[in-house]
Structure 1
Amino acid sequence: MKLTRLITFACLLFWLTPVAGQSLKSGAANNDEIIYHIFQRSFYDSNGDYHGDLNGIRQKLDYMQQLGVTSILLTPLYESAFYHNYFAADFEKIDPKYGTMADYLKLIREIHRRGMKFYMDMETQYVTEDSRWWKKAFGNTQSPYSDYILWDDKENKKPSTIVFNLTGLRGYDGVTRKITTANLNSEASKAYNLKLFSYWIDPNADGKFDDGVDGFRLDHMMDDLDNKGRLPHLFQTFWNPLLAKLRTINPKIKIVAEQANWFSLGNEYLQNAGVDGVFGLRLCFAIRSFDKKLLLANADSTLAMLPPGKQQVVFIENHDVPRFSYGVKGDLTKLKVGAAFNLLMGGIPAIYYGQELGMTGTSANFGATDANEIPDRQAFEWYKSDTGKGMALWYKQTGPWKDQFNDDKPNDGISLEEERNDPNSLWNYYRQMIAIRKANPAFVSGSYKTVNNDQEHVFSFIRKSAGQTILVAINLWDKEAEVVINAGGNAVNIIGDVRPVLKEGKLVVRLPPFGVGAWELK
């Protein structure tokens, strides 16, 4: 949900506690995916209007493949009055700033030609006053769109509120729109959603799917929408029937839910909502804390206790949270620790655009407006000067805050131009970690298990597949650490140049400050 922060980091860290009463089992599945999550308005502008667009993404597919990612997740493409495109005006139209349907189809076919996958972000629970549903049904109970909206009266003059009982939202450009909740209980709404999702799976209905999505991200998914009691049991009445029908169209379609409750591990979604995966929110915040106790409390529960065939998307930043670099104050060694956790722990890794450069930003406080999240969604930094062809600086063109977004600074060492040819750069480290992950089956499809050691600031775990066992140890503090790990065997270096010594059946290794080591155990 794209509003002022739903919950604070302080609250999240307080609630990141162990989940009791669960036994360890492997939830690993064969998975060679690495998702690149793009806030497309800020990625690459192909036509000089400062807005990132679909043709810009297509033109940068070489870049993504050079980085090593295999799948692309975009934020919503449909038409909306808001810059982030949540809260739709028309689900069937692509925002013209992004391009045309022809541009979209050209992008999807090119993604598939390269052997990559595409995920579409969907939030069909809300519409704005610009929607034809609202326009046709407001005050008109006989309208064919009357059942598409949830009303609080019998005359269709009081559309129901959305999350936090809001009735609307002010955009960064000063435009305010009323917003209401869709009536997901109605048969009309269910039929519409089936038609809409089905279209994106196979736009030309030829059964080939070369022009269709490979999966959906379901934003703000809830069983009882916004906990208001008006739309209860949606997993049973709405989501499961819809997703089952979509799988009859394309059995390979993948559905990933964003759990609305960020305190949740998401198991209720995996068990009851019919989705294939959820986002590892608790693990994300545990990683960002650099706190071993929080990692211990959440790693096994997130990665090793999954229902069979289900997955967690493992990430350290996205469009709703401050940049990881902001949290570690741009410290390169800590940024590399984040990359290692992101790519080596398990699940489906997701990298948020610019994360691989160390782009920074955190939420602002401009009052009741969606401008507050723009610092987390700024233009991808292609050039040392932070100016040039393709720079998507849309947020600096209009609005009362246009001069206050200044995290993209020239000559600060954070840009593709500055990092590409620097072997020690964060960008090259991401490429290295991705290549290592792809080269080792245990990282791709292996099970996860935390391994005990004797250091309070060193976190260690094992990834194990049928033919390979890899031990990973990560130093979480700024001092060298000698650590005794409860694992044995002949250790062959995969990451780092320090080889453990086998002593009394355990491995002893000395890790540098914020050092990362990985060894195949023979």
Structure 2
Amino acid sequence: MNKTLIASTLATLSILASCQSEPTPEVKNHWPKAGVTYEIFVQSFNDSNGDGIGDFNGVTEKLDYIQELGANAIWFMPIMPSPTYHKYDVTDYKAVHPDYGTMEDFKKLLEEAHKRDIKIVIDMIINHTSTEHPWFQASKSGRDSEFRDYYVWAQKDTIAAFLDKKVITLDSDNIRQWHDPGQGEDFYYGFFWGGMPDLNFDSPKVREEIYEIGRFWLEEVGVDGFRLDAAKHIFPDDRPLDNHAFWKEFRAKMEAIKPDVYLVGEVYDKKEIVAPYLPGLPALFNFDFHYTLIESLNSGDGQLLLQKQKEVLDFYQGITPNFIDATFSSNHDQPRLLNDLKEDPAKYKQASAILLTMPGAPYLYYGEEIGMLGLKPDEHIREPFIWDVKENDKGRATWIEAKYSTDATVTPLEAQRKDPNSYFNHYKALIKLRNSYPALATGSLEILENKFPKSVMAFGRKSADQEAFVVHNVGSESVEVDVPAEFEKELFKLGTIKLESGKLNLEGNSSVVFLKK
């Protein structure tokens, strides 16, 4: 063993020893308000039958792993039948994609997850369907079809001015909104793509269909909640009040079926647009957090994220006190976090330390815990999970040839388990820390009066009977900050820190969490 590795191992053991000098408090499940949710793309997660595609049975095989990591819930990207690999264009809302297995396989997965106190949330895509959905096939058959008003149709001459209009979406700036089904006379509206016609929520029949679909998954299948895709686009952007009203109605219908149903919405916009959705969607993804976290680390400005998060939380509080801030550092639509941080391991570890010491209900995208890589197009942000070296990795999916997350670029999970300094053990330790201390899980965010160097992100976390002091130096240079004497009980540290007589010195990309005595 070389001297560098010996020194590194001894340092890690020293940290672990200092953190374990007293019995660790009980690990608690704070979901949904502050628990950790693990996002899975089934197709790339674990292949149980050797056909190259991940499946439900493959996820069931790995539930002990998800429990080991410390996650409290799983969000599944779309699992319903669809003609595309991503499955965001549904053809049958009351079935599962045959590539992933049977409904019985899914119900077995649910049963086994619930045995481990792991909740299951599924993607619900109701803004649009596939053009192959039977509703659309019937709708386009003629103006007198009973399904005609399930979608938004207009005659060519009435929308002539809009036919060439293009809109900016998450992935493209050249998407047409109106599409010709091949008849040349009547056009249908599809915000994202011609293969995804928007449903018409002005139709009471459509709304009743959607509520029945929700009932099916909650009551007959038994899922714990839904991630609502494209929640901002139920009605066009110039009808925001109708959007807000719909989601209130949707929430009321779902809570009548399952009072503790979990609903998290994707509203991709600034806080002023996002916040009014809270009465209908009590949990909303915090895109500001994601982008500002990356900007803070890449610019070395510790104040950016702190101030942004305080603004968001205060603004949400003004709408409703009962909201869930769904924070995340990456997801299936964004480049992998390690790519966004220029493949800098120190920044990468600190990003997760910030995510898991800040308020909110964090989401963790599969593979982030082992440092997977990925850039657009989206398929390559969704590459197969690397469980072991290739010759031993029987569960690795092969539906796509990995371009970024390969054996040459990513250390497999099995090897990371044995390395105390690995990304996996880092994430695992942070999740356990968060779930062990109520101040870090459910505590408020306290902005401190002290003046700190620009690169320092320092804040308090305070619950009813516990208080923590968190310091992150996101810059590359060493800094010194004052630490009150009552906050000198160290719970966690990352990088190199030194505390003497109330003076804390942190080297670049170092973090520390103190507990009030």
TM-score norm. by structure 1 comes to 0.81
1:304-323 matches, cutoff 5 A: 304-305=314-315, 306=317, 307-323=320-336
2:213 counterpart residue number: 196
- 2:203 maps to which of 186, 198, 210: 186
Gaps of 5+ in 2: 1-29, 170-174, 181-192
CA distance in 2, matches of 1:303, 1:351: 20
Alpha-carbon contact 2:442-2:463 (below 8 Å) kept:
yes
Alpha-carbon contact 2:201-2:235 (below 8 Å) kept:
no
Report the 3-state secondary structure (helix = DSSP H, G, I; strand = E; otherwise coil) of the residue aligned with 1:389. Answer: coil
Kindly provide the amino acid, as one letter, of the partner of residue 454 in structure 1.
Answer: F
CA 1:330–1:417 in structure 2 vs 1: closer, same or farther (change >3 Å)? farther
1:352 counterpart residue number: 365
CA distance in 2, matches of 1:438, 1:112: 19
Query: How many residue pairs are counted as aligned between the two chains?
Result: 457
Deviates most, 372-381 or 285-294: 285-294
- 1:458 maps to which of 456, 459, 468: 456
Report the 3-state secondary structure (helix = DSSP H, G, I; strand = E; otherwise coil) of the residue aligned with 2:250. Answer: helix
Alpha-carbon contact 2:255-2:261 (below 8 Å) kept:
yes
- 1:514 maps to which of 506, 509, 515: 509
Which whole-Å deviations, capped at 9, do the CAs of 1:147-194 have from their partners, x for residues lacking one?
211111399x99x9996434679xxxxxx9733110011011010001
Cα offset for 1:236? Answer: 4.6
Kindly provide the amino acid, as one letter, of the partner of residue 54 in structure 2.
Answer: G
Cα offset for 1:30? Answer: 8.2
1:214 partnered with 2:216: no
1:87 partnered with 2:89: yes
1:15 counterpart residue number: none
1:470 counterpart residue number: 468
CA 1:86–1:501 in structure 2 vs 1: closer, same or farther (change >3 Å)? same
Cα offset for 1:343? Answer: 1.0
1:361 partnered with 2:374: yes
Cα offset for 1:285? Answer: 0.9
CA distance in 1, matches of 2:507, 2:371: 21
Cα offset for 1:501? Answer: 4.8
CA 1:56–1:265 in structure 2 vs 1: closer, same or farther (change >3 Å)? farther
CA distance in 2, matches of 1:222, 1:378: 28
2:309 counterpart residue number: 299
CA 1:29–1:284 in structure 2 vs 1: closer, same or farther (change >3 Å)? same
Report the 3-state secondary structure (helix = DSSP H, G, I; strand = E; otherwise coil) of the residue aligned with 1:92. Answer: coil
CA 1:297–1:81 in structure 2 vs 1: closer, same or farther (change >3 Å)? same
Deviates most, 115-124 or 327-336: 327-336
Cα offset for 1:361? Answer: 1.1
Cα offset for 1:284? Answer: 1.1
- 2:50 maps to which of 48, 51, 57: 48
Which whole-Å deviations, capped at 9, do the CAs of 1:406-426 have from their partners, x for residues lacking one?
212224452202211000001
Report the 3-state secondary structure (helix = DSSP H, G, I; strand = E; otherwise coil) of the residue aligned with 2:246. Answer: helix
Cα offset for 1:129? Answer: 1.8
2:387 counterpart residue number: 382
Kindly provide the amino acid, as one letter, of the partner of residue 506 in structure 2.
Answer: L
Alpha-carbon contact 1:491-1:499 (below 8 Å) kept:
no
Which whole-Å deviations, capped at 9, do the CAs of 1:210-262 have from their partners, x for residues lacking one?
x41111111111166342x4x65333542211210110111100111111325
2:289 counterpart residue number: 283
CA 1:232–1:345 in structure 2 vs 1: closer, same or farther (change >3 Å)? closer
Which whole-Å deviations, capped at 9, do the CAs of 1:53-92 have from their partners, x for residues lacking one?
1111111001100111110001111111111110212222
Deviates most, 385-394 or 459-468: 385-394
Give the structure with the larger helix fraction.
2
1:14 counterpart residue number: none
RMSD: 2.8
- 2:235 maps to which of 225, 242, 262: 225
1:338-487 matches, cutoff 5 A: 338-363=351-376, 372-385=377-390, 388-396=393-401, 405-451=402-448, 452-484=450-482
CA 1:236–1:68 in structure 2 vs 1: closer, same or farther (change >3 Å)? closer
CA distance in 1, matches of 2:273, 2:422: 33
1:124-203 matches, cutoff 5 A: 124-153=126-155, 164-166=175-177, 178-203=195-220
1:261 partnered with 2:269: yes
2:125 counterpart residue number: 123
1:18 counterpart residue number: none
TM-score norm. by structure 2 comes to 0.82
Deviates most, 146-155 or 110-119: 146-155
Report the 3-state secondary structure (helix = DSSP H, G, I; strand = E; otherwise coil) of the residue aligned with 2:91. Answer: strand
Cα offset for 1:437? Answer: 0.9
Q: What is the percent sequence identity of the aligned residues?
A: 30
CA 1:139–1:236 in structure 2 vs 1: closer, same or farther (change >3 Å)? same
Kindly provide the amino acid, as one letter, of the partner of residue 381 in structure 1.
Answer: I
CA distance in 2, matches of 1:296, 1:520: 20
Gaps of 5+ in 1: 1-27, 170-175, 204-210, 364-371, 397-404
